[in-house]
Structure 1
Amino acid sequence: MTRVVLADDEATVRAGIRAILGTDPSIEVVAEAADGRQAVDLVQRHAPHVAVLDVRMPHLDGLAAAEQIGRTVPGTAVIVLTTFGDDAYIAQALAAGAQGFLLKSGDPRDLIAGVHAVADGAAYLSPRVAHRVIASMRDNRTARTTAARQRLAVLSDREREVVALVGAGMSNAEIARRLFLVEGTVKAYVSSALSRLGLRNRVQAAVLAHEAGLVDDLPE
């Protein structure tokens, strides 16, 4: 059972999100919050697999709440949910440590898929958000690719291979099957790569892998 804490300052919105998640019998909403501060408290109390946070909430917004959750309850993955598709929110959410970013106006199935993905250790961006991220990465591609490859030079060949597969959206279990490794070994490679690169989570590693062209170079 995937346990979720849900936070949104509008009761009707929370009810709608809870109803969507309730269509999947493997997801349980264990607590709800009306503001960011309460969300952090509930996550610390329940230690859920996933926290779904609205980006705009009183007392503490979703981005600040995501940062606090990542620092104090690192075992909880964070999805930022918003009506705003502004690129600045996307960038801020990723910088705050969110593993997923979804638009409320998106397909409800994206929310369920996103919860499962981040709970399994993968990153998840809704298709519309992913399109924005990829488009922004294409701007000034040459300079960004060069800089990304220079950052990745500190990794071992195996760490670089694992980061490329993280960029392809694979979970630790999927990477382990692909590389014929034990899942715990993959987790160790991911942790080592994040530490060497100074990154906070898999989403940031995935973006870097795309910028460096590692995902494009993966064999079919």
Structure 2
Amino acid sequence: MTELRGEPGRTGLTVGDYDRVNAVLERCDRAGSLPEFKEQLVEALQLVLGVRIATFFEGRGLDEAFLDPAVVMVCGSREQRWLAEYHERWSLSDVYATPAAVRRMRRVGAATLTSLGPLPGRAEVYVREFIAPRGLERSASMLLDLRDDGVGIVGMFGTRGAAEPVDVHPAVPILLSRRLSALTRLLPRHRPADGLADLTDRQREVVELVAVGCTNADAARRLGLSEDTVKKYVSAGLAATGCRSRTELALLLRR
């Protein structure tokens, strides 16, 4: 994967910030489907950025995402009940569902608690009674673009002094949102069926060459086949796996 680079003195980001962003990206860029990506991302955020809780909500829009019953979360043992309480009492009061947070996430890709200013009533109660008692004084939320116009909301929560996005630099979650969205826009929303096992050896050879960037002509020349045969084999690979494009097929084979 191409590393993210910049000029620390001009962007405000340090070399360490860029290294952390790259480390998160490298832990996620081989996912072959959105479910796999979610699991890799929340683990990467905890391991690389040091967040105490990382969550991934998904929906067809922001309102639906905050009600996602199948949230992927990584946390410590004492936060296991956190998600159940969130759904029971707090999902409609989430600070990152406020108009100010939504506007900021849509504009730049991420928001932090400190970037939102005075909070409306329910959101202020959410922070005071749900977040603060758990010592989660630092938080950020990223908006990711998903395939078929879906959205992902990634929450990051940490204690003061933890090496998490707010402590590193407010631009880190913004940068991550942009780079991660480039991946999530392409990922199938469900795990593709493992239909590669149903292909013949020759068909799989063609699919593997196409997955690493070979054109039909390149694959035909390497394997001594006609281009028409290569096209048929690629079509067989797409049909067998449920992938809709060569790009998806490449992502699946990279897992």
Fold equivalence (TM over 0.5):
no
* Higher normalized contact order (CA 8 Å, seq sep 6+, divided by chain length): 2
TM-score w.r.t. length of structure 2: 0.29
